[in-house]
Amino acid sequence: MNLLYRTRKALRQRYRRWADRRTRPAAEFHLDRRRLYIFPSKAGFGFIALVVVLWLLATNYENNLIFMLCFLLLALFLVSIHFTHATLSGLSIKPVRAQSVFKGDAAAVELCISQARARRREQISLRFPGGESLMITLENAGDTFVTLLAPTQRRGYLDPGLLTIESVYPVGLLRVWGHSRFRFDAAVYPAPVKDHARTSNRKGSGEGHYAGSSGSEDYVGLKTYEVGESLRHVAWKQYAREQGLWSKQYGDAVETRIWVDWDDYTGLDTEQRLARMCWQVCECATAGGVFGLRLPGSELPPDRGVAHKQAALRRLALHGIGDESRVDDE
């Protein structure tokens, strides 16, 4: 039993590697004979056993009617190859968009599945490795948009892996499946790791102090509020007078800017450093402060706001990952 299980597991891994190699990322996958695989399901093997039992019965009873029924079921099995294959054949899958997430979170990936002609296709399951499967039923011609969750395991560009699209419809005797793989521009940020010791060590030293404890001593003036800025800095008085949304500027800009710096995290490996820097970026952004990001060979000038935070996270995500290391699409 154990041996069987292990053999099956090994075979499955082998298949997975082969399919991985075979399936190159593309902008659109058209499921056809070259892309679809078909094989009897467990129920299909049971059905074959039923056919064999009927054949034995027919032979032993020399009963031609049972022969006929036995052959009817065998023929049903054969034509169901066509019908099951047709459940997926002719579909196209395109990526629409994907969400950037922290490593370990599931990224929502939106896909567009389209068929040229109206045709009822039931019980199509879509799944990224390790993710939940989604069951859909197609009916009309045109596009159907689905959102799948793809678990993430590595920092960098989002690569949810091989998408498996499969179905056993209509009779469950065979399973037809295909794989596709897409490139996404979305990034997987490092999973933030809190490291108070280091951040508090640096407090007071260096160029600035921590934005979360930013003093409100020196009120400088008003500036148009930008989405993403801390609500604590909103000039509520002006807002109440219906003069618009302004945010208050404090102190010396140079004094309060913070550098999230690679060199602050010595003694750690790259991923550990990035994880801590990621946490710091999040903290800074939540506090609404101005921060910059320094990585070996690149620097993001200090700024604030959602777009800035995302730019910073994206730099962290893609640090050390060149465009060339993206899954190539030759």
Figure out which of the listed residues 1, 3, 78, 227 binds another protein, where binding follows CB under 8 A.
78
- CA atoms in the 13 A half-sphere facing the CB of 82: 4
Contact 215, 251 (CB under 8 A): yes
Site membership for another protein, residue 90 (CB under 8 A): no
Site membership for another protein, residue 185 (CB under 8 A): no
Contact 258, 284 (CB under 8 A): yes
Of the two residues 11 and 254, which places its CB atom closer to another protein in the complex? Answer: 11
Return d(Cα 275, Cα 156) in angstroms, integer. Answer: 13
Site membership for another protein, residue 220 (CB under 8 A): no
The least distance separating another protein from the CB of residue 262, rounded to whole angstroms, comes to: 27
Q: 30-59 mask for another protein (x: CB under 8 A)?
A: ---------x-xxx--xx--x--xx-xx-x
Site membership for another protein, residue 218 (CB under 8 A): no
Contact 114, 144 (CB under 8 A): yes
Return d(Cα 3, Cα 108) in angstroms, integer. Answer: 37
Figure out which of the listed residues 35, 103, 175, 181 binds another protein, where binding follows CB under 8 A.
175
Return d(Cα 276, Cα 267) in angstroms, integer. Answer: 12
Figure out which of the listed residues 25, 26, 32, 73 binds another protein, where binding follows CB under 8 A.
73
Contact 284, 313 (CB under 8 A): no
The least distance separating another protein from the CB of residue 253, rounded to whole angstroms, comes to: 26
Site membership for another protein, residue 145 (CB under 8 A): yes
Site membership for another protein, residue 115 (CB under 8 A): no
Return d(Cα 246, Cα 53) in angstroms, integer. Answer: 82
Site membership for another protein, residue 62 (CB under 8 A): yes
3-class secondary-structure state, position 49: helix
Range list of H helices, 194-321:
196-201, 236-240, 253-256, 270-287, 306-318
Return d(Cα 218, Cα 238) in angstroms, integer. Answer: 19
**CB neighbours (10 Å) of residue 282?**
17
Figure out which of the listed residues 6, 104, 135, 206 binds another protein, where binding follows CB under 8 A.
135
The least distance separating another protein from the CB of residue 14, rounded to whole angstroms, comes to: 8
Residues forming the site for another protein (CB under 8 A):
8, 11-12, 15-16, 19, 39, 41-43, 46-47, 50, 53-54, 56-57, 59-76, 78-80, 82-83, 94-96, 112, 117, 122-123, 125, 133, 135, 137, 143, 145, 164, 166, 168-172, 175, 177, 179
